[in-house]
Amino acid sequence: MNELTIELEEVNPKYFFGTQDANVELLKRYFPKLKIVARGNKLMAYGDETLLEEFDRRMAQLLEHFVSYNKLDADAVENILTSDGKQVFDDTKGHDILVHGVGGRAVKAQTVNQRKLVDLMDNNDMVFAIGPAGTGKTYTCVALAVRALRRKEVQRIILTRPAVEAGENLGFLPGDMKEKLDPYMQPLYDALRDMIPHEKLDNYIEKGVIQIAPLAFMRGRTLDKAFVILDEAQNTTHSQMKMFLTRMGRSAKFMITGDPGQIDLPRRTISGLKEALLILNDVNGVGILKLDDRDVIRHQLVKKIISAYKDIENLNE
């Protein structure tokens, strides 16, 4: 009797097999002449070689669907097992969906400017996204990075931001290096956790497919085949911004986000973000988008707060 063993790598078998192995039972129904056994993170099938080849092909489609949509329900299983699988992956009704996050939740660009940001990234290798808190800058950028990774357009995602509060000198903070960095990287972790299942995210970080580090750690590196996001860029200095921008390697995508209204640098220190926007304004291949309070997608009060502060700042100018 021929045997086929499929190991579920970076896929949580609990969700792939379904509640009480419901998806496995569907497989058994559609392949009645095969003996199918689910054990741990492995699926074993025994039987005729031709049937095993067909089973292997269908399993590859099921795994592809799970990776793309972060879920596998009975409808998807039956669709794949009874057709060529194309219907499952048809996104014509949701072409504005960037990725399917945890639990299959669709992550989309939700405002006009966020959609412009997606278009800019599709047509440029470097994009600056500037705007106040709550406009979805970081979240949209992370979604674009995850999309690029899933499409195999890049081999890794690198997320960085300046650790201004600690002066990028993290030695005095308690804990190991990861524990020192995590407070500064939390917004990036939060976005990633919405889009990548916990086990897979941990695996990506462990393997270096996703790297999260303070800006100081970028010095001396050449970032090839990577989607790189510099968050909170308003808190970079001239030398930090220049250092970061010149890390760009072949087949790389760079996104820089920031809010010029929330600069935490010492007084009389010029923001590297503000300077870069002036210097690179007319450089071909660099896209610049300014979001505003119309793009705020947090609590409705956030828009009012931003507007109130803007009025005060205008009076003080």
Q: Which two tokens stand for residue 274?
A: 């503000």
Q: In the chain, how long is the greatest CA-to-CA distance?
A: 82
Q: Which two tokens stand for residue 151?
A: 């499409």
Residues 180 and 284 in one domain: yes
Amino acid present at 298: R
Judge if pTM exceeds 0.85.
no
CA distance 207 to 18: 27
Residues 99 and 85 in one domain: no
Residues 283 and 142 in one domain: yes
Residues 172 and 311 in one domain: yes
Q: Which of 74, 89, 104 is the last residue of a domain?
A: 89
> Cα–Cα distances in Å, from 31 out to 10, 40, 59, 137?
25, 21, 12, 47
CA distance 35 to 273: 61
CATH number of the domain encompassing residue 107: 3.40.50.300
Residues 101 and 178 in one domain: yes
Give the domain range for residue 23. 2-89
> Any idea which residue has 């009704």 for tokens?
93
Spatial CB neighbours of 271, under 8 Å, sequence gap ≥ 6? 234, 235, 236, 237, 260, 263, 265
Residues 120 and 226 in one domain: yes
Q: Which of 89, 111, 142 is the last residue of a domain?
A: 89
Q: Which two tokens stand for residue 67?
A: 């990776």
Q: Which two tokens stand for residue 66?
A: 């799970």
Residues 40 and 180 in one domain: no
Spatial CB neighbours of 1, under 8 Å, sequence gap ≥ 6? 46, 47
Read off the DSSP letter of residue 248.
B
Residues 199 and 77 in one domain: no
CA distance 121 to 287: 8
Residue 63 confidence (pLDDT) = 83
The values of phi and psi at residue 51, to 5°, are -65, -40
Amino acid present at 126: M
Q: Which of 35, 65, 89 is the last residue of a domain?
A: 89
| Segments of the chain assigned E as strands | 2-7, 35-39, 42-47, 97-100, 106-108, 126-130, 156-161, 210-214, 226-230, 253-258, 286-290
> Any idea which residue has 């303070």 for tokens?
214
**pLDDT of the chain along its 317 residues, tens only?**
788 998 887 677 887 888 888 888 888 988 988 999 988 888 889 988 888 888 888 888 888 777 777 777 777 787 788 765 444 444 444 457 788 777 777 788 878 888 899 999 999 999 999 988 888 888 899 999 999 998 899 999 999 988 765 444 555 555 655 666 667 778 888 889 989 888 888 889 999 999 988 888 888 898 999 999 999 999 999 999 999 999 999 899 999 999 988 888 888 888 999 999 999 998 999 999 998 877 776 666 776 787 788 777 666 65
Residues 51 and 115 in one domain: no
Q: How many separate domains does the chain show?
A: 2
CA distance 94 to 289: 24
Residues 191 and 52 in one domain: no
Residues 62 and 115 in one domain: no
CATH number of the domain encompassing residue 15: 3.30.1370.10
The number of residues making up the chain comes to 317
Alpha carbons within 13 angstroms on the beta-carbon side of residue 151 total: 13
Give yes or no for a contact between 62 and 6, defined as CB atoms under 8 angstroms apart.
no
Q: How many CB atoms lie within 10 A of CB 102?
A: 17
Spatial CB neighbours of 92, under 8 Å, sequence gap ≥ 6? none
Residues 76 and 179 in one domain: no
CA distance 97 to 307: 30
